Structure 1
Amino acid sequence: MENLFAYGTLKDKRIQETVFGKVLTGTPDSVTGFVTKEIKIEEEFGVTPYPIIVETKNPEDVVTGMLYQLTEFQLQQADTYEGIHYKRIQVQLESNEIAWTYLR
């Protein structure tokens, strides 16, 4: 199993149904040294804002989200969903778990 830290649209149950074919069960967690910003992505019907985390290395900056356990196939599905605008990296969470997450 792979850990995934989701802080944006991948926490949405409707998105999870679309991407994974089911709603995921997760636990609240957070990552220190990051802030949430907004990027605008051009889509079929216009430009849409999405959240993205940016590393600051400031211990006072914290992003909250959810920790999910995914299969390797589900992680690949998440990669496909996030597309070219995000890259996947590993971070250490407040819970001391190591998880994949997406940033720019």
Structure 2
Amino acid sequence: MSESAQGRTYLFSYGTLRQREVQLSAFGRELDGTPDLLPGYTVTTVEITDPGVVAVGGTARHPIVRATGDLSHAVEGTVFEVTDAELAAADDHEVANYRRVLVRLASGLHAWVYIDS
């Protein structure tokens, strides 16, 4: 299911999906994105044990966001327009610590984001 503006699918990243190496590995191309904010969330970190994800991301400590419900909290990141196939590839890239949800960004765009599961 794609949720989007004008038939477009958006993915918000605050972490490793913004890295060129991770994008090339997951999507086969470098994505072009725009800065945006995710209101009502804060960032913490999680220890990743999947050796493939650690190798591509360069570290075992990855950022992860959690909902606070407080709109004064916001997470900085980048919003990317992606294809449905790329969104599925992002799902394959993420480990069990993350789940994908649809959010409204500060810009007003609806985008998918991976949050603490």
TM-score in terms of structure 1 length: 0.93
8 Å CA contact 2:102–2:110 kept in 1: the answer is yes
Structure 1 counterpart of 2:100, from 77, 88, 96: 88
Structure 1 counterpart of 2:78, from 66, 75, 85: 66
The one-letter amino acid of 1:15's match is: V
In structure 1, distance between residues paired with 2:12 and 2:84: 14
What is the CA distance between 1:12 and its match in structure 2?
0.4
1:1-104 matches, within 5 Å, as 1-44=8-51, 48-104=60-116
Q: Number of matched residues?
A: 104
Unaligned runs of 5+ in 2: 1-7
**Could you say which structure has the higher strand fraction?**
1
Identity of aligned residues (%): 33
What is the CA distance between 1:2 and its match in structure 2?
1.1
Aligned to 2:4: none
Provide the secondary structure at the position in 1 that maps to 2:94. helix
Q: What's the RMSD between the two structures over aligned residues?
A: 1.7
The one-letter amino acid of 1:13's match is: R
Unaligned runs of 5+ in 1: none
Provide the secondary structure at the position in 2 that maps to 1:84. coil
TM-score in terms of structure 2 length: 0.83
The one-letter amino acid of 1:21's match is: G
Stretches of 4+ aligned residues off by more than 6 angstroms = none
Provide the secondary structure at the position in 1 that maps to 2:44. strand
